Amino acid sequence: MYGNSPFGSEGMDAESLSPDQRRRIERDLSRVADQTREYLPGEFVVGSELSAGADGPEATVAVRPPVGSVVSAGYSPDDPERSISDDERDDIARGLAASAALQVKQALADHDSPTAR
């Protein structure tokens, strides 16, 4: 799963991204975030960020559930000319949504009380 762990491998220098490459990566992040939002109710906050990491650019999509810990998926693009495929986007989005839902379930498990006997 992608929750709270990086995928991809070490890539290029953050400063070496052209404006077009930066836009492509940001567009891919936005699409993953949008797809993730489709799987979750509105109480979950989904965001994305492109930042400079130790080994080059780092792209991250994160979900803050209404209760529980934040989950995220990140990667360092090997080839900034290559976009995330539809299958990869769906896989990442589903993994994030499932991880966020699990965080809620685990957080509520400690506070659940039976509604009837």
pLDDT digit string, tens, across residues 22-81: 999 999 999 999 999 999 999 999 999 998 888 788 899 999 999 989 999 988 887 878
Is 117 a member of any domain? no
- Tracing tokens 């994305």 back to the chain, one arrives at 48
Q: How many domains does the chain have?
A: 1
- Per the CB < 8 A criterion, the answer to whether 90 and 38 are in contact is no
Predicted pLDDT of residue 108:
83
Is 97 a member of any domain? yes
Name the phi and psi angles at 68, rounded to 5.
Answer: 100, 180
Listed residue (93, 81, 101) closest to 31, CA to CA: 93
The CA distance from 53 to 51, in Å, is: 6
Predicted pLDDT of residue 3:
47
Is 113 a member of any domain? no
Is 115 a member of any domain? no
Is 116 a member of any domain? no
> What are residue 62's DSSP bridge partners?
47, 72
CATH code of residue 24:
3.30.160
Full domain range(s) for residue 90: 5-108
